[in-house]
Amino acid sequence: MKIYYLVLLLISTLSFSQKTKEKAFVGYEPIMWNKDKDGNETNTDFENPKQKWYHKNILKIKNDSVYLDRIPVSKIGKQVLYSSSDGGFYYYKGIIIKENNQTKIELTEIGCDYCPVQVTENKNEIIPKRKLYGKITEDGIEVNNVKITEIEYSEFLLRSETWKEN
């Protein structure tokens, strides 16, 4: 009988301690950082022509709030390689707006790691935060002209969900 209670206790403890996996939407935005021989922008890595650079856009929607992390990755075929800093890590937070039978997304940059910083000669000038806009349609989600169509499930919070401004 003691073993029965021990097994029951272990099962109930394990089932309550597991985190719930949340749905995240994913899309890949080319990082256009090179120019080909004709002067056209490209996301191809010239040292490895099969490798292309992207920002992996990971988006979560919770009620009327939207969170977006843009993390740099490279892809060789279907293999995704994660970068430690190339291209910068951008974090956005925003809202869903419903108007005129349309569902729109408005996001504001809340932080960035390994990103260039805009400066101004006038120290009193306030540089506006970067905004991104998107929409939700029957065809899927689009933010900043990037289709976000893949779905991943994760038990991890996005950095934008936990970002604290300094």
Q: Any idea which residue has 């349309």 for tokens? A: 102
Cα first-last separation, the chain: 55
Q: Check if the beta carbon of residue 163 is closer than 8 Å to that of residue 65.
A: no
Residues 6+ apart with CB under 8 A from 20: 155
pTM for this one? 0.79
Scanning 20-156, the segments in alpha helix (DSSP H) are none
The angle subtended at Cα 27 by Cα 23 and Cα 29, nearest 5°, is 150
pLDDT in tens, the chain (166 residues): 445 443 434 444 444 444 578 889 999 999 887 788 888 888 888 788 888 889 999 999 999 999 999 999 999 988 998 877 777 899 999 999 999 999 999 999 999 988 877 778 888 888 888 999 999 998 899 999 999 988 888 888 899 998 876 5
